[in-house]
Amino acid sequence: MAKITYEIKKQLAVLSSQSGNGWKKELNLISWNGFEPKYDIRDWDSTHSKMGKGVTLTENELKELYAVLKGMFENDRNGQITSTIQERNVEEEVMHFINKAPLFIQEVKNLIIFMTEKSYSSELKRNILLGQAPAEAELALINEVESLSSIYRGFYDEFRSFLQELNNKELDFLFGTIKGL
């Protein structure tokens, strides 16, 4: 049987401790057998020389887990647990664009960061990205959106349709998700 090697690149969190034996359930970023690091949840002894069974997740899998857990534990105004299916759909749609057109999304991200720094409201950001910028909008933004619409015509049209369907909460979630990429 081949020897498994690992390097803990970053210790992220201790999720629980077992009293008596010193073992801890941890979330770490680990490179297994020299491969790209992945997120890992498992029990470790105090020296990290012995480990229990665990689960290893890619960044996308961890994000999906986060969305599911957020949906399970987010409370509505009445204190009831609610689902964030709409937000998860927004995130799935963003992931769809990232996978299909990463350069397009990077350009959109740059625009969102710029507009956020200028304290633009979400509705104003939407209007600018839809190509419906008010007269007082900065010419550079208008030109950038026009460039996006011509260079990435298909993706832009699809993104534009998606933007028009979102309510304010989903719009805020979308901008936050893209900005955080």
Which of 23-27, 55-59, 165-169 shows the lowest per-residue confidence on average (mean pLDDT)?
Answer: 165-169
**What pLDDT was estimated at residue 77?**
45
Helix (H, G, I), strand (E, B) or coil at 39: strand
Q: Please state, in angstroms and rounded to a whole number, the distance separating the CA atoms of residues 3 and 112.
A: 47
CA distance from start to end of the chain:
40
CATH architecture group of domain 6-57: Roll (2.30)
**The pLDDT of residue 85 is above 50:** no
Cβ contact 49:62 at 8 Å:
no
| CA angle at 19 for the pair 13 and 23, rounded to the nearest 5° | 50
CA dihedral 101, 107, 112, 115 (to 10 degrees): -160
The whole-chain average pLDDT of the chain stands at 85
**What pLDDT was estimated at residue 31?**
95
pTM flag (> 0.75): no
Structure tokens given for 34: 């020299």
Per-residue pLDDT tens digits for 110-120 = 999 999 999 99
Q: Domain map of the chain by residue range?
A: 6-57, 85-179
Nearest to 159 by CA among 105, 112, 120: 105
- Of the two residues 87 and 47, the one the predictor is more confident about is 47
* Burial readout 54-66 (b: 16 or more C-beta within 10 A, e: otherwise): beebeeeeeebee
CA 18 to each of CA 54, 123, 156: distance values in angstroms, whole numbers, following the listed order: 16, 49, 52
**The pLDDT of residue 137 is above 90:** no
**What pLDDT was estimated at residue 76?**
46
